[in-house]
Every structure is written in structure tokens, then in C-alpha cells.
Amino acid sequence: MTKALLGEKFKELVVEKSFDKLTIKMITDAAGVIRPTFYNYFQDKYEVMEWLLNEDIFKSVTELIDMEMDVEAMKMLFRKFELDKAYYAKVFEVEGQNSFEEMLFDRVYKLVEKIIKKHPLKVEDKSEIISEEIFLKFQTITLVNGIKYWITYDKKQISADEALKFYEFLMTHSLLDIVDNDIWDKVIN
């Protein structure tokens, strides 16, 4: 319970003050515990951020994938981000070696890798993929940047379901599929 309380107060303070201005003392004061209590659970505020990412999002998403519910897992991923959109917008501002985006990339990469290991790729000529690692990274970059843009830059405030629907559209349609072919004929010729 104490760990969860520290995490919840951390979230509230990040939204209120920003990650950079947040101190361990502020977190422990808000939680009503002494500073050493924080260190019983976390090394620093970066570890809190990573723990929350796992607890709030990837724990349940991974469980759905383990139960062969991949589509539901993707829905859950987007909906979990939507629940704490203000918090995630703030932690996306954390840059550098322990950036939130880097943490998210690692989690999403493992998620995509898990899905691909359970479901073989439907590609007849696997040489088109170049390598599985490049394919995984491309998929991960696309999903992470899509979520980041939706959370941090979206002025229309689209819902998680709308964001997921748009992501699905992008992933199932290439640029060549959706533009007028006459344009590509002119470019090629």
C-alpha cells in the first residue's frame, strides 16, 4: 500500500509541478511518510516513473497478451494512457538517459516481440522484412511516436478508441495504398 501511495502522490505532483522540479521530499511529504520509507521501495524518481508504467499499463496489457487477447491488449494500452493523459503528457517531457520515451520504447519493444513470437509473421518472402529486429524496432517506433503525439500534441483531444483506430489504419495502409496512383506514376516516370 505504501508503494502504491508513493506512486500516486508522485503522479499528482508530476502533473502539478513537473518531473524536473519534483524532489523526493515533496513525494514523501505528500504521502505522509519519512524520506527513508521512499528508499525502501525506490532508488529515485526515475524508478517510480518506470514502476508506474509497468503497474498502470503493461502489467494488464501483458496479461491480455498471455491470454491470447492481442486486440484487447492494444485497446487496453491506449485506454490506460487515456486514463492518466495529463500525467503521461508531463512524463513525456522527461528527456535524457532515463527518459520516459526510452522506458516506453523498451516496454513496447518487448510487447511487440512477445506478440511476434506467439504469432508467426504472414510474409511469404521474409527477405522483404530485412530482419526481425529491424521490423520490431520499426513497429515499436511507430507505436511509441504515435502514442507520444496523441498524448502530447493532440489539440482535438481524440479518444483512446479513435487513436487506436487511426493507428490501425496507418499500420494496415501504406502511403502507396491511399494516394492517387497518378501521383506515383509521375514520380516514378
118 in a structural domain: yes
106 in a structural domain: yes
* Mean of all residue pLDDT scores within the chain: 87
Q: Supply the pLDDT for residue 80.
A: 94
| Secondary structure (DSSP) of the chain | -HHHHHHHHHHHHHHHH-TTT--HHHHHHHHT--HHHHHHH-SSHHHHHHHHHIIIIIHHHHHHHHTT-HHHHHHHHHHHHHHTHHHHHHHTT--STT-HHHHHHHHHHHHHHHHHHHS----S-GGGG--HHHHHHHHHHHHHHHHHHHHHH-SS---HHHHHHHHHHHHH--HHHHS-HHHHHHHH-
Residues 75 and 61 in one domain: yes
Span 83-90, average pLDDT: 92
Residues 94 and 108 in one domain: yes
| pLDDT for 8 beyond 60 | yes
Each residue's pLDDT tens digit, 159-181: 888 888 888 887 777 777 777 66
Residues 6 and 69 in one domain: no
CATH number of 10's domain: 1.10.10.60
| Structural domain count, the chain | 2
Q: Supply the pLDDT for residue 166.
A: 84
Residue range of the domain that includes 123: 44-178
Residues 21 and 74 in one domain: no
189 in a structural domain: no
